[in-house]
Amino acid sequence: MASEPLLRLQAYSQVRADGTPVLQDLSFELGRGEILGVVGESGSGKSQLLLGLLGLAMPGSRVSGSACFDGIELARAPEPVLRPLRGRKIAMLFQDPLLTWNPCLTLGSQLIETARLHLGSDSGTARAQVLQALAEAELPDAGMLLDRYPHEISGGMRQRALLAMSVLAKPALLLADEPTTALDPTTQRRVLARLASLRERGMSILLVTHDLGVVAEIADRVLVLQQGVIVEQGATAQLLRAPASAYARTLLDAARQMEGLPCLP
Amino acid sequence: MSRSLPRASLVLLGLLISAAVLVPWLSPHDYFTPDWDHTELPPQWSRGHLLGTDELGRDLLVRLMWSCRISLLVAGVASLISLVIGLAWGVTAGYFGGRVDSILMRVVDVLYSVPFTPFVIVLTVLFGRDLVLLFIAIGAVSWLDIARVTRAQTLGLKEREFIIAAEVAGLTPWAIMWRHIVPNLIGITLVCLTLTIPAVVTTEAFLSYLGLGAQSPLTSLGVMLADGAAQMRSRPLLLILPAVVLIALVHSCNRLGDALKDRHGL
């Protein structure tokens, strides 16, 4: 990669308040316009990595090492430095869209709130911006969607609208935490296509998942995490074809047994 | 859980509230002018005193309705005061947690330990007997429960994903509390309110009975109970009527609150 990577972690570790290590000695880079898949079983610290980068690790946990985002040191950065980054430069997409929307407010009011917060627009412009973002996400009936409550629309729509909200401010980095796990295959495909098109526009994506099919389809590089330690990382095709570590092989075998790994590049 | 609301209680409550609101326009009589020609009348329809008159010739029904009005007014205002303080206090404590939580909730504990009646007596000694004082005194005490309940709910809510998502999206704590936590507490605060109102009505009646609340000629359920108790041997109706109204009011509010509580699965 010629240019400076967008995100570079060096010996990044996270330790819980009671001393249990969550992440140990992580070092990796994420280039601009690149999708890095992070795989590993539940409890391997994938989600904690994402929250930790935003300074929202569990209360009392200690962070060491370095996590440099676009020239800003994220590890141990104080709240006033981190908050303006959240949502604007670094956005996050969650697994379950029903839980991630506030059930008491319409999609519109939450989307417009985000637009006003990050784009600083007045409510009229914010509405237009939201409609445009929904149109870009190829969501039909965007105007009607704004008046709906989260429980009134389908799970797929919820997640796609959520993705539209996450990237509303055109962040440089999207942290996606199992974004397709709760979706049916068709919607999964739509969301992945949208992520790919965001990559075309130069957005970097850190894609946490346990679905190797998703990784095979979209990630440029893969990082395998086992109990908070990187056991292997490399280009997707190479890693999936010839995993070097025993753990990656186990994951691959498990995935193959479940469904047969689709579309290996 | 969709237990239906107790219809009888709703109807009763509706009747009492509309009587309280409409009383100035309902009857030619008022609650304070003595009528020396018609004192101590028994209930009779012909002269327009449906429930009779008291020892000063004031219409009993009108006085009952005015009592409802004052009692509900005190209850409404005091509950509103306690709702605002309690909600703000509880959400702040629950959301920030840690030291803020400890300090705020210790204050609540200390206030809980203040004995209520002596506190009100001291207040009346200091500031004189005044209805506004009654609002403040009751409101200052009854927000404690609401603060505790909303704090507990906030503790649960702030672990929910949409609150974490709001944090991740860069919202300030105030925006998260006001926009994302408070709207999710509406159900529970409504329940709290329906249970606070009858408690306040009882408290008000108790204070007025002791002469610390509404002052004559202004009436309230407590004042009427005190008047009636003085003559209960000769004219039991003067005691029974306000007692029945008080029970109806408190009971229907409580039934409604309980039903709402079940509905929200608390």
Structural domains in chain B, sorted by start: 7-16+58-263 (1.10.3720.10)
With tokens 């989307």, the residue in question is A111
- For A113, A146, A249, the CA distances from A109, given in Å and listed in that order, are 6, 7, 46
Structural domains in chain A, sorted by start: 7-102+171-259 (3.40.50.300)
Best interface-test mutation with B: which of A102, A110, A116 has the largest number of B CBs within 10 A? A102
Partner residue opposite B168 with nearest CB, options A59, A87, A101: A87
Partner residue opposite B162 with nearest CB, options A51, A54, A99: A99
Partner residue opposite B168 with nearest CB, options A86, A99, A113: A86
Q: Which pair of tokens denotes residue A222?
A: 């893969």
Residue A145 confidence (pLDDT) above 80? yes
Distance to chain B for A222, nearest Cα, Å: 24
Nearest CA in chain A to B158: A102
Q: Output the CA torsion A245→A250→A256→A257 (10° steps).
A: 160
With tokens 């689709």, the residue in question is A262
Q: How far is residue B224's CA from residue A79's CA, in Å, rounded to a whole number? A: 60
Mean pLDDT score, B94-102: 93
Give chain B positions within 8 Å (CB) of A96.
Answer: 161
Residue A260 confidence (pLDDT) above 60? no
Measured over the CA atoms of residue A24, residue A95, residue A221 and residue A136, the dihedral's sign is: negative
With tokens 């504990």, the residue in question is B109
Q: Which pair of tokens denotes residue A57?
A: 């690790």
Residue B46 confidence (pLDDT) above 80? no
Read off the pLDDT of residues A151-199 as tens digits, 9 standing for 90 and up.
999 888 899 999 999 998 899 999 999 888 888 888 889 999 999 999 9
Q: Supply the pLDDT for residue A155.
A: 86
Q: Do A56 and B160 touch (CB under 8 A)?
A: no
Distance to chain B for A97, nearest Cα, Å: 9
Read off the pLDDT of residues A210-255 as tens digits, 9 standing for 90 and up.
888 888 889 999 999 888 889 889 899 888 888 888 888 888 888 7
Q: How far is residue A161's CA from residue A184's CA, in Å, rounded to a whole number? A: 16
Read off the pLDDT of residues B58-84 as tens digits, 9 standing for 90 and up.
888 888 999 999 889 888 888 888 999
pTM of the model: 0.76
Partner residue opposite B160 with nearest CB, options A83, A91, A99: A99
Give yes or no for B158 touching A (CB within 8 A). Answer: no
